[in-house]
């Protein structure tokens, strides 16, 4: 379902992609310049394969979300006007596929590198997104699309594609 209505802008203090990049950079610095905190004493093949699967799933999810938004002429850039409510494709399974993809990539990297560092630095990212970004997005979407967004919000999970 595509709904086009008045333009609203989502305003957040810091672009979530910057926060995610900062967290991943800090985890990388911690990994390379300090003794890593291993998830397992001896890295297992299963852990690394799980990490590759999570990382790949995150990349695929991000690409799919970007393509769906692009095909509906909607931007993923915060601060730009919201013109269309996109509820198809991956957006029919989760309201926040791009944030979910960032978490999957972070978990995947952590598992492949067998370190808690990336997982620990995902916590501030998830908190920022959950407490600041998503409420701002939902407020703007509710103002722009009213009942259509309320119905979508009630039918579609916020994070998981369950």
How would residue 3 be classed by pLDDT, with cut points 50, 70 and 90? very low
| Three-class SS state of 42 | coil
Task: Please identify which residue in the block is written with the tokens 């916590």.
Answer: 123
pLDDT confidence of 162, banded at 50, 70, 90? very low
Please tell me the distance from the alpha carbon of residue 33 to that of residue 93, in angstroms, as a whole number.
39
Count other Cβ atoms within 10 Å, centred on residue 136.
15
Of the pLDDT bands very low, low, confident and very high (cuts 50, 70, 90), residue 5 is very low
Element (H, E) at 54: helix 45-71
Helix (H) or strand (E) holding 41: none
* Residue bearing tokens 């890295």: 43
Output the pLDDT for position 160. Answer: 75
Cβ–Cβ < 8 Å for 1, 85:
yes
Q: How confident is the model over 120-134, as pLDDT tens digits?
A: 878 888 898 899 888
117 vs 91: which has the higher pLDDT: 91
pTM for the model: 0.77
pLDDT digit string, tens, across residues 131-157: 988 898 888 888 888 999 999 999 999
Q: What is the pLDDT of residue 91?
A: 93
Is the pLDDT reported for residue 33 higher than 50? yes
- Which residues does residue 8 pair with via DSSP β-bridges, in sequence order? 82
SS3 138: helix
Nearest CA to 111 out of 71, 33, 58 is that of 58
């Amino acid at each position: 379902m595509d709904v086009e209505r008045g333009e609203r802008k989502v305003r957040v203090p810091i672009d979530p992609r910057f926060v995610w990049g900062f967290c991943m950079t800090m985890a990388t610095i911690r990994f390379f310049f300090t003794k890593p905190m291993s998830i397992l004493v001896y890295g297992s093949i299963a852990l690394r394969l799980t990490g590759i699967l999570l990382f790949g799933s995150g990349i695929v999810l991000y690409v799919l979300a970007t393509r769906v938004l692009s095909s509906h002429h909607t931007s993923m850039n915060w601060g730009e006007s919201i013109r269309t409510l996109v509820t198809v494709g991956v957006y029919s399974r989760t309201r926040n596929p791009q944030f979910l993809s960032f978490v999957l990539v972070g978990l995947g990297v952590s598992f492949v590198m067998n370190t808690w560092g990336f997982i620990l630095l995902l916590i501030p990212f998830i908190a920022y997104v959950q407490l600041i970004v998503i409420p701002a997005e939902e407020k703007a979407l509710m103002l722009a699309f009213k009942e259509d967004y309320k119905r979508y919000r009630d039918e579609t999970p916020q994070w998981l594609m369950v």
